[in-house]
């Protein structure tokens, strides 16, 4: 199943308690693609300025990314800089310069329009809708969003959700979107707006998939070394959808496995700055954490005798 | 394996967004015992004042609790009142009256001194140490503590930890105790102080068992209706140790299953005020959530071919 990804292609400057990185590769489309191409090829649509070091994305092409949908325009690339708190639980945005991203109008190349899976990174829901008007009946439309759009573009966002099959969102945002602090009720509310499934990302606590009448939990991989949480959510989405594309199925078994792969790829992403943790990641390393995830969650059900008390 | 539990036996007045309950049964020993007796008998040591409605604990005796170690003294029982925030994530203590608990000196009846499992509820670590001086070589000493003792009685607490096999503690507290915001490092630090295992309780995010060279995650059961989080941690500890006592083993398989039972019992505890959710809880209801936990966490490991990229 072919994947189309539309999102930001940015330069980030990030400070964490463990160091800093200046003008490194970032943006939702970049993190997603670095993750998803570990499993499957990806068609990417975005925009960059004259300053963007596109050659640094060559490794993505070599593992199946088609970057021909990334437009280069006159001007600066989208730039974000932020600083994380000592425990990495919060971050302050120091600077945002939209650059050429301010006038981004996704144009989906004809050869991308038949993608079976579409991932809409966290951009203006008007643009996300615009992308859906350009593609031909994909099997899976998955999208991310954030507090900025939930507050400022609620109506458009709700219109978008009617056309989304899987909403991938973090826990604070889904509570805000649904106006309900109870996660289960918040996810069920979202499902009433259109999405068949909701994937709630919970940082170090992992993620939960809310499907029609079942749900699935995957923990966050326990790490001694978290260097940079930037992009972890997009890396999760990339691992999740990349695995589903490879499996070619939305069976409950494949959805569960996709959740685990999402968490694995997210865990490798945060161990280094930018997408560095995903550049040389091998199937062997991915498999190793898969086995560890199984050991950390599997148990035998010793049910109680019904007259034991 | 017999269980001895020493902790507070209190009256609570609790306000949540869903209602309030006045002067209801509370305290760590009460929640623990209401949970653990679903699996195994428990010997309880505590103190109450003249006002305590001990007859309301009769149902615990009928399922195997020996309450003869609860001393009744002249004066008022330990009283706590608190109010939860609208999303139940934080609470304010409105009033604490120690009453007879202020001079609590646990006296372990001779018939309780050979217990194989000892649970030290969250009381002054001086008293927790005092209990350990009165018992004969238990197989498992498990204890809980809180920020108050971590701040004010750190030295005694560290001395206690040398004699504890399983520390059961919440995530904020273990980070505070270890002075490390990374949960894995914090738990490993605790293990260097003595405990072979650390069980970290994470509220709605479930709990993690850190054993010698492995760990196990159990999620929180997803609930639409959380009425009153008071006592959830002690109910978890009761389910966890109650199951281990019943199993009579600390095998990895039984420890994993005990974690799941802890989370199940905790989930039933928070669905009603006080210990009401645990009074009529049936093995059938417990088994039902056990099966559901399995469905929410089990996955087939489809490992990647090592040359797929």
- Search chain B and give the residue with CA nearest A182: B224
Nearest-CB residue to B253 (from A184, A257, A300):
A300
Query: Which of B87, B304, B307 is the best mutation test for A, with the most CBs of A within 10 A?
Result: B304
**How confident is the model at residue B157, as a pLDDT?**
98
Q: Does B216 contact A297 at a Cβ distance shorter than 8 Å?
A: yes
pTM comes to 0.95
pLDDT of residue B51: 96
Q: Is B205 helix (H, G, I), strand (E, B) or coil?
A: helix
pLDDT value, residue B307 = 59
DSSP element (H, E) containing A218? strand A215-218
Distance from CA of A96 to the nearest CA of B (A): 28
Nearest to B25 by CA among B95, B80, B93: B80
Tell me which residues of chain B, numbers 261 to 300, contact chain A at a CB-CB cutoff of 8 Å: 282-284, 286-287, 290-291, 294-300
- B120, β-bridge pairs: B6, B143
pLDDT, tens only, A36-95: 999 999 999 999 999 999 999 999 999 999 999 999 999 999 999 999 998 888 899 999
The conformation of residue A225, written as its DSSP 8-state character, comes to -
- Please tell me the distance from the alpha carbon of residue B248 to that of residue B242, in angstroms, as a whole number: 10
Mean pLDDT of A275-293: 96
- For residue A126, the distance in angstroms to the closest alpha carbon of chain B comes to 32
d(CA A181, CA B90): 13
pLDDT at A301: 82
Those of residues 198-217 in A touching chain B at CB distance below 8 A are: 202, 204-206, 208, 214-217
In this prediction, the residues of chain B whose per-residue pLDDT falls under 70 are 307-309
Nearest-Cα residue of chain A relative to residue B216: A296
Question: Chain B partners of A181 at a C-beta cutoff of 8 Å?
Answer: 86-89
Give Cβ neighbours of residue A306 (< 8 Å, ≥ 6 apart).
B282, B283, B284, B287
The Cα–Cα gap between A152 and A288 comes to 42
Q: Choose the mutation target among B171, B175, B217, B260 for the interface with A, i.e. most A CBs under 10 Å.
A: B217
Confidence of residue A307 (pLDDT cuts 50, 70, 90): low
A309 contact residues in B (CB cutoff 8 A): 37-38, 63, 282-283
Distance CA B134, CA A68 (A): 75
User: Does any CB of chain A come closer than 8 Å to the CB of residue B247?
Assistant: yes
Contact A217 B297 (CB under 8 A): yes
Q: Does B181 touch chain A (CB under 8 A)?
A: yes
Tell me what ipTM this predicted complex has: 0.93
Determine the 3-state secondary structure of B179 from DSSP: coil
State phi, psi for A182 to the nearest 5 degrees.
Answer: -80, 120
pLDDT for residue A125 is more than 70: yes
The edge-to-edge listing of strands for the beta sheet with A3-6 is A65-72, A42-48, A3-6, A117-120, A140-143, A166-170, A197-201, A207-210, A215-218
Percent of chain A having pLDDT more than 90?
Answer: 93
Q: Does B307 touch chain A (CB under 8 A)?
A: yes
State the Cα angle at A52 between A49 and A58, rounded to 5°: 130
Chain A's closest residue to B208, CA to CA, is A296
Closest by Cβ to A224, choosing from B185, B226, B305: B185
Decide if pLDDT at A309 tops 80.
Answer: no
Confidence class for position A225, pLDDT limits 50, 70, 90: confident
Give the number of residues written for chain A: 309
The CA distance from A295 to A219, in Å, is 12
């Amino acid at each position: 199943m072919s994947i189309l990804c539309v999102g930001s292609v940015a330069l980030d400057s990030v400070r964490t308690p463990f160091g800093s990185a200046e003008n490194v590769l970032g943006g939702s489309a970049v993190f997603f693609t670095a993750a998803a191409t570990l499993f499957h090829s990806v068609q990417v649509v975005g925009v960059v300025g004259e300053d963007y070091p596109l050659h640094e994305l060559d490794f993505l092409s070599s593992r199946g990314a088609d970057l021909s949908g990334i437009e280069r325009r006159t001007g600066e690339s989208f730039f974000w800089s932020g600083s994380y708190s000592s425990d990495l639980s919060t971050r302050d945005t120091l600077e945002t310069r939209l650059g050429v991203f301010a006038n981004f109008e996704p144009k989906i190349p004809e050869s991308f329009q038949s993608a079976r899976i579409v991932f809409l990174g966290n951009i203006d829901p008007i643009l996300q809708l615009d992308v859906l008007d350009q593609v031909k009946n994909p099997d899976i439309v998955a999208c991310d969003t954030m507090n900025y759009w939930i507050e400022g573009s609620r109506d458009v966002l709700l219109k978008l959700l009617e056309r989304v099959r899987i909403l991938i969102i973090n826990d604070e945002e889904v509570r805000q979107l649904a106006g309900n602090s109870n996660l289960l009720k918040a996810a069920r509310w979202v499902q009433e707006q259109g999405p068949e499934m909701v994937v709630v990302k919970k940082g170090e606590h992992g993620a939960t998939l809310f499907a029609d009448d079942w749900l699935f939990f995957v923990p966050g991989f326990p790490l001694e070394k978290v260097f940079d949480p930037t992009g972890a959510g997009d890396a999760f989405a990339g691992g999740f959808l990349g695995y589903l594309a490879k499996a070619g199925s939305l069976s409950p078994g494949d959805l569960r496995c996709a959740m685990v792969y999402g968490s694995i790829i997210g865990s490798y992403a945060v161990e280094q700055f930018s997408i560095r943790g995903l550049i040389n990641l091998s199937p062997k390393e991915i498999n190793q954490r898969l086995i560890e995830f199984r050991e950390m969650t599997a148990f035998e059900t010793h049910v109680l005798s019904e007259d034991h008390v």
